[in-house]
Amino acid sequence: MSVRVHLDNPHAFYTNLDFISGKIVLNLLTDETISAIVVKLEGESRTVLMKPPPMPHEPRRRDDRSRIAMENHKILYRLQTVFPTVSSTTPTAKASFTLGAGHHEYPFRFKIPFNTMCGDPNMQAIGVGLGGRLGLMEMPMLQQHIRKPLPPSLGGFPGEAEIRYFVKVTVQRPSIWKENRRNEIGFKFMPIDRPRPPASNAEAFARRPYAFQAGSISSNGKKRGMFSRQPTSLSPVAPSVLVDARLPSPSILVCRKPIPMRIIVKKQNESPEYVFLVGLHADLIAKTEVRAQDVMREELSTFPIVNLQGLSIPIGNPSEPVGTETTLDDTLWDRVQLPPTVTPSFHICNLTRKYELQVRVVLSYGYPGEIQ
């Protein structure tokens, strides 16, 4: 006996409210007696963490397994009986049918829901165990559950955290001496875009002041030739600025689109020197919070977005009054798109993914042609 799951569209990304369909292919060399053929649409979020070592006053255990914290949440669980073709989706332990040798195919079709299902007691009560016997709870209700939109497929943390989606088939056999046959195939899931709030003029921002230290910048120890021009001496009052990095509020970044960022430099004092932009760096920081029982760990990932060096762009003019705001030219970054490998933010029972945009603005001051 061999059984396989075939998807009609195996290489596609699926999203909420999509239909995922295919067929079960069963090949028998001889006649076989079975109870049912059950197809399941499943999604699970699995986390495994090591507990911290015990305190000195706590007793130590020899079993290292006691230090492993683990959670496995069935965030998606749909069941369909494709054989026998009856209205009820729950097979019975007493049923038995004989299938003749040869090739058999059974189509299936599921609709992917919008929210997680691990906290649904009605869904948890459906369990099919060895030999088709009922009563084995496949999804324990021991952990705390929250109802949220289904998260995207997630990897990159081997042995620690994973979110996977798959279609699984079980050929149930009535005899306890013959094991059930199973097969599964995974697929990638990406949640549907949530409704976005209407556009507004509100902005979220990060603000940092910076004041150059007068007289602290030297000529870098370079030797000047006999005919080199003597640099213009700097004034005793170095420039002081306030740098803002702004995003629309609420801040929503979209893959394959540029970051809608504004960078504003505000003049804080009177100084005859120019302020120059000499470098700009922007990174998207992904923070993944992994939870298992009472243990938590945060994993960081970095997606480089902008990396500009060797610039010499004057910001404003020394003759402008204090308080003047200069917006940097967004052509420096508006052609750079967010990479498609970035998954959406999400929050479920044992995993949370959120993002921060880290912007570094490198400034210098002096006179045109003599940046310090």
pLDDT the model gives residue 185: 97
Of 128, 131, 126, 127, nearest to 180 by C-alpha is 131
Residue 314 pLDDT:
94
| In a shared domain, residues 165 and 283 | no
CATH number for 356: 2.60.40
Q: Total structural domains in the chain? A: 2
265 and 119 in one domain? no
In whole angstroms, give the CA distance from residue 125 to residue 120: 9
Shared domain check, 36 and 137: yes
CA distance 289 to 45: 13
Q: Is residue 194 a part of any domain in this protein?
A: no
Are 323 and 356 members of one domain? yes
83 and 165 in a common domain: yes
150 & 252 share domain: no
pLDDT at 231: 62
Q: What is the pLDDT of residue 60?
A: 61
Spell out, as residue ranges, where the chain has pLDDT lower than 70. 55-65, 86-94, 121-143, 215-232, 370-372
User: Which two structure tokens, joined as six digits, stand for 71?
Assistant: 């959670």
Q: Using one digit for the tens of pLDDT, what is the confidence trace for 215-225?
A: 655 444 445 45
Q: How many CB atoms lie within 10 A of CB 185?
A: 14
- Determine, yes or no, domain membership for 207: yes
Q: What is the Cα–Cα distance from 286 to 216, expressed in whole angstroms?
A: 37
Residues 178 and 242 both lie in one domain: no
Range of the domain at 96: 2-54+63-189
Question: In this predicted structure, what is the pLDDT of residue 175?
Answer: 81
147 & 208 share domain: no
| 274 contact partners, CB below 8 Å, separation of at least 6 | 314, 315, 316, 317, 318, 365, 366, 367, 368
Strand pairing partners for 292?
Answer: 295
What is the reported pTM?
A: 0.81
Domain presence at residue 68:
yes
Q: How many CA atoms lie within 13 A of 162 on its CB side?
A: 12
* Residue 146 counted as domain residue: yes
Q: Are residues 178 and 211 in the same domain?
A: no
For the chain, the 3-state helix, strand and coil shares in percent, each to the nearest 5, are 5, 50, 45
Q: Do residues 281 and 257 share a domain?
A: yes
165 within 8 A of 189, measured Cβ to Cβ: yes
